[in-house]
Structure 1
Amino acid sequence: MTEHPTDPSRSDPLRTLADFDGVYLTKFPGVVRALVLLGADRSTAEDLAQESFLIALHHWDTVGRYDKPGAWVARTAVNKWRQFGRTARRRHDVLSSIASADHVGEQRGFEGSDRHIDVLQALAKLTGRQREVLALYYLLDHTVSEVAATLNIAEGTVKSTLHDARSALAKWLAPGYADDPREGGARSAG
């Protein structure tokens, strides 16, 4: 999905600061959650998301015309995270901090529980690409084609990466689940 400005004659281009504010308010939390899933600590995720939105604001005359300006911001944030984590030392520091007590309670649903820590540790075992695909697909609700465009990979690669990541998480979080064939439902259909 390459973002292109929409037709200039379109009656509802996102050009105003109020439109930017709306995109910021609705998309900022998801971008931060996605970056945390990728391995950033909360503070770094917020900083990278803010930087990405600041760039979008600076280029709002162009970005505001995109069909999905939030997707542009998400792509920018993911790229900023990649830049941030390029050195082995930084990557090691960030991944080792995932299991720290500072991160307990960041995700909704199982704050402070052992299960929350188990999930974070399992996510840390995934490859960077797997975490990127999961974050875009599940946290930012991107379609397979949007994930492919954002990461500049083939749709088939997105599908296989999702499959591999889900299988790994199922294996690590529920031993026996991935090897247990089940009758009916979506699992037996595919």
Structure 2
Amino acid sequence: MRDANSFDDFYRSTSGRAIRYGYAVAGDPAEAQDLVQEAYARAWQRWSQVGTYDDPEAWVRTVGHRLLVNRWRKVRNSVVAYRRHGPPPPVRPPSENTVALVSALRQLSADQRQAIVLYHLADLSVAEIAAQIGVPSGTVKARLARGRKALAALLDVNFPEEVRNA
């Protein structure tokens, strides 16, 4: 059985030193806090055993240090993988049509833009959009119709009949 009071006393009396140790080892206060928090969480999970150790604080420091080493390994492995595979291929700039569409979408109301993007780019049905955003299907249809009309004016295009009636 865990003894919450003894763990609380242990935490209060040792956490400051553990944070200072973590900061000195990791070199970053936020990372030190994360490591120490995780180490104390693990100590709490095993407090019935850790609480019987001669120096439970040493156990917390050891766990924190191992967590830090594991993070460093992950970073190192990421760098090795990056070097092995090289940088990603360059991304081509957006086309003129894409720039015009994004510019026109920004000029629509947020509700119309959301409906148009969910319908035409995310391929959701009117019913799925209505369920997702919590409005009636008729509201989604109205937003789509008004949004398409505004887009057509902004882009100076005519949508095909099947798009206008969708």
TM score, norm. by length of structure 2: 0.42
Which protein, 1 or 2, shows the higher relative CO under an 8 Å CA cutoff with sep ≥ 6?
1
Which structure's residues are more often helix, by fraction?
2
> What is the TM-score normalised by the length of structure 1?
0.37
Structure of higher CA gyration radius:
2
